[in-house]
Amino acid sequence: MGAVGTGLFVGLGIPADLSVTWLDSLIDGLRDECAVVGASLAGGDVTRSDSVVLGVTALGDLQGRAPVTRSGARPGDVVAVAGPLGRSEAGLRLLLAELSGFDELVDAHRRPRPPYPEGPRAALLGATAMLDVSDGLLQDLGHIAKASGVALVLNPFEVPEDLAAAAKALGADPVDWMLTGGEDHGLAATFPSGVLLPPEWRIVGNVAEGDGVQAGGRENVRGGWDHFRG
């Protein structure tokens, strides 16, 4: 929504016999990631549980700006993405196949690096709609299309060399990973067509009259994570 991260509240359920060392490592990781944006681990509740359960609420400061929601995209806008596409999905497939030689892709799955500064920057640039890409680009852009009452038309994708090599090794289509793979945790946004975007944002399509998402000339592409169906 264009806010600057300020803090996390973490609800934590843990078994009674959980290693203190493991718990210290978890807290260290949460603290270190908060530090990337100058936020704080502000608190939360701890309770006993049969398994480890984490519930996280993130807080942010809009600094006087209106929130950038999913419902502001308009025909004529461009669709742009900040952060990688398909790399986490590639890393997962490589891990499951126990295929070595693609360390950067595996690392992208194990430790995603969200482009935190680009949310506030997009708001300042006049983004008309925005959300994170965590469930797959098609799935997430579909939320913008539905909320805004428009169609999002994607251009054909250029595939990075390492992603193409991994897909070839696994007999997969790298564009499918880019369209439907989740957990990259980048950002997707729409902007007025005249906005000059910085290099961190790359244009991947445009907004048109209609509904739904048209996937770069491909038909019947389905995928992404549905939280209610799995």
Sign of CA dihedral 41, 110, 144, 80: positive
- 21 class by beta-carbon count within 10 Å (0-12 exposed, 13-18 middle, 19+ buried): exposed
CB 175 within 8 A of CB 96: no
Are residue 90 and residue 22 in the same domain, yes or no?
no
The radius of gyration of the chain from alpha carbons, rounded to an integer in Å, stands at 19
Q: Which two tokens stand for residue 64?
A: 């006087």
- The CATH number assigned to the domain holding 135 equals 3.90.650.10
Q: How many residues does the chain have?
A: 230
- Measure the CA–CA gap between 119 and 68, rounded to whole angstroms: 9
> Do 32 and 140 share a domain, yes or no?
no
Closest to 82 in 3D by CA, of 190, 154, 171:
190
| pLDDT per residue of the chain (230 residues) written in tens, 0 to 9 | 999 999 999 999 999 999 999 999 999 999 999 999 999 999 899 999 999 999 999 999 999 999 999 999 999 999 999 999 999 999 999 999 999 999 999 999 999 999 999 999 999 999 999 999 999 999 999 999 999 999 999 999 999 999 999 999 999 999 999 999 989 999 999 999 999 999 999 999 999 999 999 986 655 445 554 544 55
**93/155 same-domain check:** yes
